[in-house]
A = this chain, B = another copy of it.
Amino acid sequence: MSFETALRELSTLLGQRLSRSKSDLDLHARSESHFAPVPPDAVAYPESTEEVSALVRICAAHDCPVIGWGTGTSLEGQAQAFQGGVVVDFSRMGKMLEVNAADMDVRVQPGLTREALNTELRATGLFFPVDPGANASLGGMASTRASGTTAVRYGTMRDNVLGLEVVLADGRIIRTGTRARKSSAGYDLTGLFVGAEGTLGLITELTLRLHGQPEATAAAVCAFDRLEDAVACVQDVIQIGIPMARIEFLDAASVAAVNGYAGSAFPVKPHLFVEFHGSESGVAEQAEMFGDMVSDHDGLGFDWATKPEDRSALWTMRHNAYYAILASRPGARAIVTDICVPISRLAEAVEETGADIEASIIPGPILGHVGDGNFHAILLIDEGQPAEVEAAKALSHRMVERSLAMGGTSTGEHGIGIGKLPYMQAEHGEAWAVMAALKMALDPQNLMNPGKMVPGN
């Protein structure tokens, strides 16, 4: 289908900020994932909500798909324009609009990244905790219901978005939520748009909940001889209710990759990377309780990162683990899996997955946000080897089946895109048809990120 008329009108609206240059189309053809590149028909760079609304009205008039784009770090192809159309890049709507320190909230534009937000907040004593690793845009993080290392303590985007401004599929602009901490006033539209991956509308503004910077912080790494001990330790820590700020698992292969990439010298064994937030005495108490748990599970003692720069180095290593693992097999691409199971099934899920990968022809280090029951295998493939691609897909498929059988989900934090679409029916049953009915109600033309999220579109 050709969208020439739409693109002409969009050019009139946006001038140079509607780009059809090859380099721009290529830059927006593929996100950080293994799906084949698909260049959109054009890339739009709006600068205001009103422009987004006008843009959507033009696209609606000509049945031209509209796909939101933050930083291109989504992992399931969410921002790829598989049916063509206009990618709306929010990089020119990246301002912090208003911080209310007394109410611990902030109003931001969707293109602002989480790191830029936290830099801007530095003087306030507040911070935005959700940390998916990548320096993603806050609009993208809301759209994929991102979480990451700190969700065990501070929650996911679902818990930290207080309200939204959204441009609907017909160009109408709505606001959801209020600045009050809670409300019983009607359907939770904020919650509906968070995680909708741009299929119900485009987020043009967010009000986010902030948290006080902890008085004290401590971080540590801790090795175990056996994977099952490390994971069982996590289960006990969560069940006893130690308020961990982060509790991350890396298997031996992940640790080896991190050592190779960052020059660290961790023993090549399963590790937990942990962080505690609280008052001085609270952190000391948490650390002591955690230490007891580690001993109970034959952990090999702590290595504390007490200085801020050591802590920062530690979490940089953790955040770069994905790149470290990628680099451990030069030329490889990664299929990143993302299951989340009830905590009682975590050890079983990790062990079965590990054994399954072990028996396969490809490497797949495992790491994850185990305090939530969420973990990833980074399946490393040579894309030129069909047998490896097949093996990775089969492993990924069995991971999802394992998760669903355990009462878990096909995606803890990466979202659906096109990668998890085949599992929506199995995970949701008839509820998936309800999602389709909601999509049809808000986007009857199937304009917003078509081909995603709901059946047969």
Contact = CB atoms under 8 A, between A and B. Distances in A.
A452 to B, nearest CB: 10
Contacts of A186: 195, 416, 424, 427-428, 432, 435, 453
A65 interface: no
Interface stretch (A296-304, A305-313, A318-326, A339-347): A339-347
Contacts of A97: none
Contacts of A434: 168, 174, 189, 442
A194 interface: yes
Contacts of A358: none
B372 A181 contact: yes
Contacts of A344: 100, 102-103
Interface string A239-278: 1110000000000000000000000000000000000000
B103 A416 contact: no
Task: Give the interface size bracket for A toward B.
Answer: 35 or more
Nearest to A442: B437
A187 B196 contact: yes
Contacts of A122: none
A89 interface: no
Given A102-B235, A285-B281, A340-B180, A441 B431 contact: no
Nearest to A191: B191
A403 B178 CA distance: 10
29 contacts: A100-B342, A100-B344, A101-B239, A103-B344, A145-B188, A147-B184, A172-B430, A178-B427, A180-B340, A180-B407, A182-B372, A184-B195, A184-B338, A184-B412, A185-B415, A185-B416, A185-B420, A185-B424, A186-B427, A186-B435, A186-B453, A187-B438, A188-B192, A188-B195, A191-B192, A192-B438, A281-B281, A437-B442, A440-B441
Interface of A: 100-105, 144-147, 151, 156, 158-159, 168, 172-176, 178-189, 191-192, 194-196, 200, 211-212, 235, 239-241, 279, 281-282, 285, 338, 340-344, 372-374, 403, 407-416, 420, 423-424, 427-432, 434-435, 437-438, 440-442, 453
